[in-house]
Amino acid sequence: MERYLYPHTIDNGSGEQITFIKYVKDEAGDYLEVENTVTPNAGPPMHVHWKQEESLTVVQGKIGVQILGEGEQFFEVGQTATFKAGVPHRFWSAGTEPLICKGYIKPADNIEYFLTEIFKSTKANGGERPGLFDSAYLTTKYKSEFEMSEIPAFVKKVIFPVIVFLGTLLGKYGKYKDAPDAVK
């Protein structure tokens, strides 16, 4: 079942926009072609894709990147930053103009669904961060695929499961009834 029509654009309300250009079926593994637009000084916090490699080539602007525990690096137009699966990283628009990158995420798995829902919740929550119930549900359901490194382990292991339990009792998760299963 195709979940999205392409191109499919999401916006988190705080300076990040991702367009999923197309879903590519490939014998070596399906992947998503993407384009990111990030306003100066904006970008995702430290995170990890446990199963996906992410690669971004700068089309406009300057990207700052950081691997957890390492120093910052910068790439300009025509240069590529690639983040291997399982490597915690972050990136941001490090210049004075919006950053535009083209790239891929491979394999696709649930990244498009996860980011679509996280961005939707963040935008609805004023662009600051996703809503608490949404954050707890999505990061718990997809913990085998994605992790937000900046959320303390105690919150992820103890607090979020309690919030998911309460959210389930309060009927907060009906909108996720068709959510795809996490990849194990």
Q: Tokens representing 30?
A: 């399906």
Task: Provide the pLDDT for residue 2.
Answer: 64
74-89 per-position pLDDT tens digit: 999 999 999 999 999 9
User: What is the reported pTM?
Assistant: 0.94
Instruction: Tell me how far apart the alpha carbons of residues 9 and 138 are, in angstroms, rounded to a whole number.
Output: 19
Quick one: DSSP state of residue 176? G
Q: Tokens representing 65?
A: 């990147």
Confidence of residue 3 (pLDDT cuts 50, 70, 90): confident
